Amino acid sequence: MRPAICSICEKPSAYSDGGDWVKFKDYDEHVVTLLSHPVGLEYFSGAYIEEALALAHMNSCDAIRKIKENNCID
């Protein structure tokens, strides 16, 4: 499993107050990548967790793209 590093700002969990993992629409614990990480499971720092939870009905890639767009992050 990937380490808990924010999918938006790349802060590790030790430096992100209130961060957590979010399961998105495409979450499937049985489909893992080469790093043995479930598809659709992403970590967000406290700065982005509420927005991520509000978008949990979307696929993870679309949600991450939207959060970055909403916060003017490339």
| pLDDT tens-digit readout, 14-70 | 887 889 999 999 998 877 666 678 889 999 999 999 999 999 999 999 999 999 999
Q: What is the pTM of this model?
A: 0.88
- Residue 26 belongs to some domain of the structure: yes
Looking at per-residue pLDDT, the higher value among 11 and 29 belongs to: 11
pLDDT at 74: 82
CB 64 within 8 A of CB 42: yes
- Residue 1 belongs to some domain of the structure: no
Gap between the Cα atoms of 64 and 42, Å rounded: 9
**Domain interval for residue 38:** 13-70
- Residue 32 belongs to some domain of the structure: yes
Provide the domain count of the chain.
1
- Residue 18 belongs to some domain of the structure: yes
pLDDT at 30: 79
CA distances from 56 to 2, 7, 25, 39 (A): 19, 14, 6, 13
- Residue 4 belongs to some domain of the structure: no
